[in-house]
Amino acid sequence: MPRLLLTAVVVTSAVVLCGVVLRGGGPGPDLRPAAAVAGGLGALDAPPPSSADGGPVTAGGARQSGGAGAVAERPDPRAGAAKRWSAEERRAARVVARWDRQRAAAWSRADPERLASLYVDGSAAARHDVAMLRAWTARGLRVRGMATRLVAVEVLGAGVAADGTGRPAARLRLRVVDRLVGARAVGRGVDVRLPRDRATAREVTLVRERGGWLVAEVVPA
């Protein structure tokens, strides 16, 4: 979900590949929300790109691997790992998937207001995500076809807490492992596939406000 790390490629004659952690840092290649998740959730941390490969969106298992939240995926991308998830995890996955689709639509339309509306007011993840979107649009580029492969989701907490107005609101805290795939940088004379992101784990907190789930915080898991 809402963290947004992506390998960046500069749109020039040279192609620069740079691994970045989604949901954290400044302008860059992470197309998931700063962190965040979106970090899932689920950003950018380097300059816009120019070539790479995407991939199908599927669910699968994962195991923790070394290094800054990076995760090594188990070989079973399509054998229906999601079927092994609990009912609670499947519900959480649907929340994350819906949020990711809304975020992808905002990025595709280069709409910072719509993007900011997916986060609670004052969210650091929102500031990062919007700043990254503006960095791409300032270069005359839009990011289209962005999809999130959800590898794993774990419900760390669920309950009710006061929202920004002091009223009670449903709250979800999730550990999400995901990766961005299929994104393309499109602009005048430019249409390039962005590099695939590595699967990354993040903790994402969502709050039920304004009739939907909004991301409040994304941090490395």
Mean pLDDT of all residues belonging to the chain = 70
The tens digit of pLDDT for each residue in 165-194 reads 666 778 999 999 999 888 999 999 999 998
Tokens 């990711």, located at residue: 100
Please say whether the structural domain 62-220 has been given the CATH code 3.10.450. Answer: yes
CA 203/CA 147 separation, integer angstroms: 19
CA distance 91 to 199: 21
Q: Which of 104, 101, 94 is nearest to 31 (CA)?
A: 104
Average of per-residue pLDDT across 101-118? 96
pLDDT in tens, 30-87: 555 433 333 333 333 333 433 333 333 333 333 333 334 444 444 334 334 556 888 8
pLDDT in tens, 131-141: 999 999 999 99
Is cis: bond before 157, omega within 30 of 0?
no
User: Tokens standing for 147?
Assistant: 């999809």
Dihedral angle sign, alpha carbons of residues 120, 43, 193, 138: positive
User: Tens digit of pLDDT for each residue in 191-206?
Assistant: 999 887 789 999 999 9
Average pLDDT over residues 139-144: 94
Among candidate residues 192, 199, 211, 203, the one with its CA nearest the CA of residue 2: 203
Three-state secondary-structure class, residue 45: coil
